[in-house]
Amino acid sequence: MRCSIFLFLIALSAAGAARAELLLAPESSTLTPGGRIEVTLFVANNSAEERSFDVPPRLTLRPRGRTDSPVVVLEATEPQPAQVRLAPGAFHRAHYSGTLSEGLTGEIVLEPVDFKGQPLAFIAVAPTVAPSGEERPPAPAEGSSPAQTPAPGAELDPEASRFTSAFSSYEPNYFSAGSSGPTNARFQVSFKFRFFNPNTKTPFLEQIFFGYSQSSIWDLSSASKSFRDSSYRPSLFYLNDSISQWKYRQTKLGLQGGFEHESNGKDGTSSRSLNILFVRPTLTFPLKDNYFVALSPKIYGYLEKEENPDIAEYRGYVDFLVKAGRRDGFQLATTMRKGTRAETFSIQLDATYPLKEPSLGNLGGYLHLQYFYGYGESLIDYNEKVRPQFRIGIMFTR
C-alpha cells in the first residue's frame, strides 16, 4: 500500500495544469497469469476549487497490443459512493480486484476502457513448478525485501523478460494432417514482435510490430516426404486492437495496416512472390456468456506481382475473416476470398476446441479441424483449384 501511495504522489506532482487525475496502482508489480489482481484507484482534485467526481462501480481494462485477450473486469472490494466531492489538492482512494487472464504474460499494460486515466503497467510471471509438483509463486520484483528473495537461479532476468514479452502470437499456429487423395499435412508458424516498450512517451510507437508467418504443405504420400510448397510472409504494420469502443455490450473496433511480402522461396518457373499494402479493420461484438462474433476484412492492393501477374484473378483484393464462438470454448473461423474472375473463390474453415480439460490430461492447445476448398491453398498453385481438403490436428494459438 505504501508503494501505491508513493506512485500516486509522484503522478500527482507531475500533473501540473490537469484539473483532475485518475491513477491506477497495482498492489503488486508482479502478478500471476490467471491469478488475482488488486489495484487502487486514486481520484484527485488538482483544480483550485472544490469539485465533484464520479467513482466507477467497476473497472474495465483492455490489454494493450494483445488482440485476442479478453478485457479484464475489476469489481470494487468495498461499497463506493457514486460520486465524491473533493477539496482542492485532496484525493479519494478506492480498491478493486478481479482475475487476470491466463494468456497474459510478460510486460503487460492495461488501458482503462470506461474512463480516461493512466494505464496500469506490471509484469505477469507464470509460477515455477517445484520438484514435488507444487507450484511456487512468481519471483518478486526488484526491490522486494530479503525475505522474499527467490532462490539462486530463480531470479527474473529483466533483459530476458523484456525480450520475451515483446513477442506474441500473430496468426494461428497449428499442425494438422488429412487426406483427400494424397495424404498431406499443413502447418503454420506465426508471431509478431513489438519494437517499443510499453509506456513510451509516444503511444503510437507502441503499436508498431514486425510480423512473420510461414505456412507449409507437407506431402506425406511421396517417397521422400517432401514439402510441396511453403509461403513466407514477413510484414511491418501498425496494430491497435481497440481504437474505438461503444457502450453497447462493449463492441469495439480494431485496426491494422501496413506492408507485407509473400514468396515461396523457389526459383525459376516455380518462383512466386508479391508485395502488398493492406488495411484490416476488425469489429468485435461481445455476446452473453463470453461468446462473441468478429468481422475482419483484410483489404489489400498489389505493389509488385511480376512472377504471378494474374494473381488477382484468383485471389482478389480481400480476405474476409468471420470468427465466432466462446472465448474459452469452441470457435469457428471462416476465411473467404473471391477472385475477379467469375468462377474463382476459396473458403477455409477452422474449428477449434480447447484441450485444457482434466478429462483430457490438461493438455495445452486446441483440437483443430480444417476444411479448404477452392483456388490457391498454396502460392505455387494459386491458379489451380484443389479438391476439398479435410485435416485434423492441434492448434497451439488461435
What torsion, rounded to 10 degrees, do the Cα atoms 285, 286, 291, 296 define? 30
**How far is 370 from 123, CA to CA, in rounded Å?**
36
> pLDDT value at position 217?
95
> pLDDT value at position 307?
93
**How far is 85 from 115, CA to CA, in rounded Å?**
18
> pLDDT value at position 126?
67
> pLDDT value at position 150?
43
> pLDDT value at position 230?
95
Q: Are 95 and 27 in contact (CB under 8 A)?
A: no
The grid coordinates listed for 392 are 485434423
> pLDDT value at position 144?
43
Pure H helices in 113-262: 158-165
**How far is 59 from 72, CA to CA, in rounded Å?**
8
| DSSP 8-state secondary structure symbol assigned to residue 135 | B
**How far is 58 from 77, CA to CA, in rounded Å?**
10
**How far is 13 from 18, CA to CA, in rounded Å?**
11
**How far is 309 from 331, CA to CA, in rounded Å?**
36
| DSSP 8-state secondary structure symbol assigned to residue 203 | G
Name, in order, each residue with C-beta under 8 angstroms of 212's C-beta and a sequence gap of 6 or more. 170, 190, 191, 192, 232, 233, 234, 235
Domains delineated in the chain: 2-159 (2.60.40.10), 166-397 (2.40.230.10)
Sign for the CA dihedral angle at 143, 146, 147, 150 comes to positive
The grid coordinates listed for 41 are 484507484
| pLDDT averaged per 10 residues in sequence order, the chain, 398 residues | 46 42 78 84 81 84 75 83 82 86 78 77 68 51 42 51 81 93 93 82 86 95 86 96 73 94 93 97 90 96 94 97 93 97 96 82 86 95 92 95
> pLDDT value at position 25?
81
Q: Which has the closest alpha carbon to 59: 19, 23, 107, 84?
A: 23
The grid coordinates listed for 118 are 493512466
**How far is 375 from 384, CA to CA, in rounded Å?**
5
* The residue to which cell 499442425 is assigned: 175
313 φ, ψ to 5°?
A: -65, -25
CB atoms within 10 A of CB 381: 16
Element containing residue 92 per DSSP (H, E): strand 91-99
Q: Which has the closest alpha carbon to 178: 170, 191, 187, 169?
A: 187
Please report how many Cα atoms fall inside a 13 Å half-sphere around the Cα of residue 141, on the Cβ side. 14
Give the N- to C-terminal CA distance of the chain in Å, as an integer: 38
**How far is 122 from 161, CA to CA, in rounded Å?**
12
